[in-house]
Amino acid sequence: MAEYGTNALAGLPPRVTICEVGPRDGLQNEASVLPAEVKVEFIERLVAAGHTVVESTSFVHPKWVPQLADAEDVLDRLRRAPGVRYPVLVPNERGLSRALERGVTDIAVFGSATETFAQRNLNRTVAESLEMFAPVVGRAREGGLTVRAYLSMCFGDPWEGEVPIAQVVSVATRMLALGCTELSLGDTIGVATPGRVVALLDALRAADVPVERIAVHFHDTYGQALANTLAALNRGVTTVDSAAGGLGGCPYAKSATGNLATEDLIWQLDGLGIETGVDLGRLVETSAWMAEQLGRPSPSRVVRALTGG
């Protein structure tokens, strides 16, 4: 990247933390079910490339996410590097117990800003899902764990259409009030545009939600993920979710395509002089390798450009 020049833009943070979600959010939506040893190698390659936050697996019931049914096996095989966080998704207290048995120190819960998606994804209303999360978050925080709150459908819902900003803020503040340490705003079906992103972030700030506790999670369905990320950075966000090679989508929202590709994100951030600590070359090699395991090309434009694929 450096050979093409680096120029900063005013108002952007000097460093961004990338939450790499490929091993969980990415692989859960792939048709292929990869062996545990391949998943472990994927995670370890991502860490070797410089990632310090790698979402590793999910303790959702295997009936719902069979691609990650080997969560215990993956964590047992994984060589955890010092200074690296390996959060896992837990849906309920049973999932939390399974995670704690494996020495997990960082978890995530997954909520919805809309009633329809809450029913389809969790078989509960929004209020009932918050009631379910409360003891999970309480136990985790008492045990010293960090708890990330994913909030899906923050900008649009395939059944309800545009989601009112006030509705998102209401659910977001209630999730944080449970004791969650971070809130990841999900554009689950990729319909957000920069102005909408700024409007939501400004509304959360007006509701006294510190920007330091906010992350953004954009899908690239309409090609807006990088533009939306830049808008969020300009509003002070410093944590961005992305998936190596652009893996993933959402198994319960068929209009959702892949996550923002980490390589595409890093190309932009490198060009802006924003530090991430991730080596783009090593990451591209990892995503090209993973594409071979899955038997299909990587959707990341940067991966394709740098590998000729």
- Answer yes or no: are the C-beta atoms of 74 and 82 closer than 8 Å: no
Distance CA 166, CA 139 (A): 29
Pair of tokens at residue 232: 């969020």
19 as an active site residue: the answer is: no
Which helix (H) or strand (E) segment holds residue 108: the answer is strand 106-112
The residue whose two tokens read 């936050």 is 53
CA distances, 76 to each of 22, 56, 59, 79 (Å): 19, 12, 14, 8
Burial of 137 (0-12, 13-18, 19+ CB in 10 A): buried
CA–chain centroid gap for 112, Å, is 14
Find all residues with CB under 8 Å of 37, minimum gap 6, and list them.
77
Which helix (H) or strand (E) segment holds residue 240: the answer is strand 239-242
- Candidate list 19, 154, 180, 250, residue with the active-site label: 250
CB crowding 186-206: b at 16 or more within 10 Å, else e: bbbbbbbeeebbeebbeebee
Distance CA 190, CA 187 (A): 5
Distance CA 218, CA 164 (A): 18
The residues assigned a catalytic role are 250
